[in-house]
């Protein structure tokens, strides 16, 4: 088997706090070119560092199989969250202690990307076409990452048949869960304008706070749905309240709030936005929705069976098909082809001393290689 541990170390050693550019993509290209991949790298975004428009690097790589063969894509991100303080070793200085490899991105998700590359090294080209869809912005605004890659793929007529996103989906042990779907997400900023005045003369003012409170009470009481066969019920949460009034004797001129809705496939971002805008207007306010992603579901079938069979062959575990958890770039890739997520155990992702079991890296490499072969046989 190709040395997946070496691959993982090389990726971890390249600092890549979101949005990622440069060295970590150099390391990725150096892994893929010797394996027969044609690599394309590009940057999108021209804003200042620290803004949503900051430049993001992306990579698309492809190794073509025989004409007419299936095109199987691996997708993932090389950017990581900031390491934070208190690491026992350097966050970008990969270190083995016991049976674990430590470093930022070991689990989320440089480790899985190393497994993808090592898996391809163990599979001949005639098994089919394999590509990598790799972004430097999944942990951040995600404006110029996978969306930009999808635009590039469309412009260059690159169309995968199936896509595997290597997010850390396993919970207690490698292989116990795969994500066949995710709920959508919309965040909505609410405002109610009033008229500032003295609290002793309320008739000369217009207090926006009671209106906002009534609006939030109506929103909080909504029952959006009861869930579906594959999705839990949609939920609406109040995530911020802001008045900013430091004076105890002043009625404020403005009250603000923010809500977040995670929704299943009985809704769309647009339909929920329309509902909230109407309620806000009813209470004299405004609503600004921003949809982060729509829900997706890849119903159990041939693709999920391939993953389940590959996982069980290596680990003896039957992965649970799930739609729980947060969002991922699969919410964008759903528009390209059927997509499922499967990867490492997520116990330490985003934590200080993030670490992955070395045995899991080797096992996941074998699972990914088996998936490539099985897709090629479709």
Q: Domains for the chain: give ranges and CATH numbers.
A: 4-182+295-376 (3.40.630.10), 184-293 (3.30.70.360)
What value does the mean pLDDT take over residues 340-365?
A: 97
**Is the pTM here over 0.85, yes or no?**
yes
Give me the DSSP letters along 159-193.
Answer: --SEEEE----BSSSTTSEEESEE-EEEEEEEEEE
The residues carrying an active-site annotation are 79, 138
3-state secondary structure of 154: helix
- Residue-wise pLDDT for 209-237, tens only, equals 999 999 999 999 999 999 999 999 999 99
Region 48-72: mean pLDDT is 94
Q: What are the tokens at 184? A: 């959508």
Q: Residue 143's pLDDT band (boundaries 50, 70, 90)?
A: confident
Mean local confidence (pLDDT), 238-257: 97
Q: What is the mean pLDDT of the chain?
A: 96
332 pLDDT exceeds 60? yes
CA distance 223 to 219: 9
H or E element at residue 157:
none
Q: Calculate what percentage of the chain has a pLDDT beyond 90.
A: 95
- Please answer whether residues 296 and 181 qualify as being in contact, where contact means their C-beta atoms are separated by less than 8 angstroms: yes
Closest C-alpha to 178, from 70, 293, 361, 309: 309
pLDDT confidence bin for 49, thresholds 50/70/90: confident
What is the mean pLDDT of the segment spanning 60-80? Answer: 97
pLDDT band at residue 1 under the 50/70/90 scheme: low
CA dihedral 343, 345, 351, 357 (to 10 degrees): -100
Average pLDDT of the segment spanning 174-188: 97
């Amino acid at each position: 088997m190709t040395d997946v541990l070496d691959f993982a170390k090389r990726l971890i050693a390249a600092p890549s706090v979101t949005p990622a550019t440069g060295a970590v993509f150099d390391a990725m290209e150096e892994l893929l070119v010797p394996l027969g991949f044609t690599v394309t790298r590009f940057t999108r975004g021209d804003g200042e560092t620290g803004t949503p428009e900051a430049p993001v690097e992306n990579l698309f790589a492809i190794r073509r199989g025989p004409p007419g063969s299936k095109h199987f894509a691996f997708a993932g991100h090389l950017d990581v969250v900031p390491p934070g303080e208190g690491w026992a070793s350097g966050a970008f200085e990969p270190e083995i202690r016991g049976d674990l490899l430590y470093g930022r991105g070991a689990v989320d998700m440089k480790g899985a990307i190393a497994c993808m590359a090592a898996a391809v090294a163990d599979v001949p080209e005639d098994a089919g076409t394999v590509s990598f869809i790799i972004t430097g912005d999944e942990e951040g605004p995600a404006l110029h990452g996978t969306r930009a890659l999808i635009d590039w793929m469309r412009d260059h007529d690159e169309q995968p048949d199936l896509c595997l996103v290597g997010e850390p989906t396993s919970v207690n042990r490698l292989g116990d869960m795969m994500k066949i779907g995710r709920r959508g997400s919309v965040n909505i900023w609410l405002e109610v304008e009033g008229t500032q005045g003295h609290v002793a003369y309320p008739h000369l003012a217009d207090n926006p706070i009671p209106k906002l409170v009534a609006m939030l009470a109506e929103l909080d009481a909504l029952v959006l749905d009861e869930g579906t066969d594959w999705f839990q019920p949609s939920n609406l949460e109040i995530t911020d309240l802001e008045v900013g009034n430091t004076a105890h004797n002043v009625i404020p001129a403005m009250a603000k709030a923010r809500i977040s809705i995670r929704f299943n496939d009985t809704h769309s971002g647009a339909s929920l936005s329309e509902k909230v805008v109407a309620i806000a207007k009813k209470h004299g306010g405004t609503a600004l929705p921003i949809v982060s992603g729509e829900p997706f579901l890849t119903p159990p079938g041939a693709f999920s069976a391939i993953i389940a069979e590959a996982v069980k062959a290596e680990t003896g575990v039957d992965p649970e098909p799930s739609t729980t958890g947060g969002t991922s770039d699969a919410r964008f890739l759903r528009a390209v082809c059927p997509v499922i997520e499967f990867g490492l155990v997520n116990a330490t992702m985003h934590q200080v001393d993030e670490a992955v079991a070395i045995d899991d890296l080797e096992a996941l490499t074998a699972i990914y290689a088996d998936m490539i072969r099985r897709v090629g046989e479709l």
